[in-house]
Amino acid sequence: MHNFLIFAASYGLTKCVKTMLVGTAFMAAIYAVAKLNRGRALRVNYCALLLLPLALLSGRSRLFYVRPFVRVSVFLNRYCTPAVGGLYFSIAFFLLAVLVHRNALARRRAFCLPEYGNRALAERVRRQVCAHDVTGIGAWYLRRVQIFVTPGEISPYCGGLLHPYVVLPACVCIWPEPAVEAVLCHELVHIRSGHLFVMAFYRFMGCLWWAHPLFYAFEKRLHEVMEQVCDARVLSVSGVERGTYGELLLSLVRVLRKKAPAGSAAFFIPVGRNAHAGHLRYQRSDFQVLRARLAALEQTQRLRAAGRRVRCGFAALALLLALVLSATSYPLYTELTELGLYDEKLQLCAYDTAELNGAVRVEDGRLFVEPERFAALVESLGIEGEYVYLSFGGFMKVPGAGGGGNAGMISLSDYTDILYLRADVWENDAMEFLLKYFI
């Protein structure tokens, strides 16, 4: 267990830092796309941001083992020590635990609220959102959505993954029916579009990349662009006018006071309130978000026309990038077939030689010795004593990093008397499985 933790901490941190370096290159490319696009096609910006998680596939890239990037691997192997890795992943697991706790708490609080009473309106909005659903999966998923009402002056929001829900503030529920319909449509579009899964994965990446300073800016940008894309989709499926929808955004700013729970997709980022002056206090970031959303409403027609082409193009690009990253990376693990022969003092006597491979074979994790050949080999090497040690098995993750394997202590008086040094217990099998497939 100790050796397992040592390897997992150091190798895991090395792999994580490599993904962050590649992620930085992805961020630069995404920023360039946004600059060239200049907001003309919102879905282009949104789909570009969805490519960032592909950087997680680059932890075993061969790029880091060719000149001049091999220096990066050498540097990381030197400074990504088990102690540093243990500290880094302790913080990462803590952040993940906090995230899971907050999401669970928000869901528990939401399901304690009273349900929204206008079921006819809710069903009408569901049909609008799924009007063009060919597969029926979206309609099935939206039927699982539960809608609740909270007395607090909080932004409408949605949450949950397997059990999605929507929370509407009571002050919004008393608005005219078309306004409530637009707000509810916005939240259901979030759920139907899979935004909750996108946000959950980005927040998981945030726990893993918590030391990356640029990631937080990109996560915030994802949320803003997601809201703009969702606004455009609402105008498309609900038939509400752009001017009316813009007035609805401004109305929400006037009545909302609190932020939605962490981990949810909120209708709007509310501004603060100046308690002494008794009026709304606009923060610069909030004003810019509102201004960008209102300006993006003008691009609705263009977004509607080019949406399918953009989605198909970026889906093809994502598949191509995933294939390239996989093809230029080392496999999850490579089984090692080399044999090593050691004397009683653990001094290496032979390693992966033709004579050794001819005298010993490995089948199903067990050693089988050819007595005559092995005796001739021991005699030729001048090995003395009662036992020899033979190492075999194991696997390599990337050059210089691997684990597993076993060793047999072979009696020189009876070659069938082999004591295996690795305990044949489920804990060792579990650790080897984790090393191979998850680390």
Q: Determine the angle formed by the axes of helices 215-238 and 284-296, rounding to 10 degrees.
A: 40
220 and 75 belong to one structural domain: yes
Which residues 6+ apart lie within 8 Å of 74 measured at CB?
none
CA distance 425 to 428: 6
262 and 386 belong to one structural domain: no
- One-letter amino acid identity for 3? N
372 and 429 belong to one structural domain: yes
* pLDDT for 435: 87
41 and 184 belong to one structural domain: yes
Q: Distances from the Cα of 399 to the Cαs of 60, 328, 396, 416, in angstroms? A: 10, 14, 7, 34
343 and 367 belong to one structural domain: yes
Cβ 24 vs Cβ 211: under 8 Å: no
Which residues 6+ apart lie within 8 Å of 263 measured at CB?
99, 102, 103, 106, 159, 199, 200, 203
244 and 388 belong to one structural domain: no
268 and 400 belong to one structural domain: no
Q: Helix, strand, coil % (nearest 5) of the chain?
A: 60, 15, 25
315 and 360 belong to one structural domain: no
Our CA dihedral for 202, 50, 154, 116, rounded to 10 degrees, sits at: -110
169 and 235 belong to one structural domain: yes
* pLDDT for 290: 65
CA distance 311 to 316: 9
Q: pLDDT tens per residue, the chain (439 residues)? A: 677 888 889 999 999 999 999 999 999 999 999 888 776 677 888 999 999 999 999 999 999 999 889 999 999 989 999 999 999 999 999 999 999 999 999 999 999 999 998 999 999 999 989 887 777 888 889 999 999 999 987 888 899 888 999 999 998 888 888 889 999 999 999 999 999 999 999 999 999 999 999 999 999 899 888 888 888 888 888 878 888 888 888 777 776 655 666 656 666 554 443 333 333 333 445 556 666 776 676 665 555 555 677 888 899 999 999 999 999 999 999 999 999 999 998 999 999 999 999 999 999 889 999 999 999 999 999 998 899 999 998 899 998 888 888 999 999 999 889 999 888 888 888 888 888 888 8
- Residue 434 has phi, psi (to 5 degrees) of -65, -45
* pLDDT for 259: 60
Domain end residue (candidates: 269, 293, 327): 327
254 and 341 belong to one structural domain: no
pTM: 0.84
Domain end residue (candidates: 272, 295, 327): 327
314 and 338 belong to one structural domain: no
- The number of distinct structural domains making up the chain is 2
* pLDDT for 6: 87
CA distance 236 to 122: 18
Round to the nearest angstrom and report the end-to-end CA distance of the chain.
15
* pLDDT for 252: 76
Tokens 């190492």 belong to residue: 391
274 and 345 belong to one structural domain: no
Domain end residue (candidates: 277, 307, 327): 327
Structural domain harbouring 344? 334-437
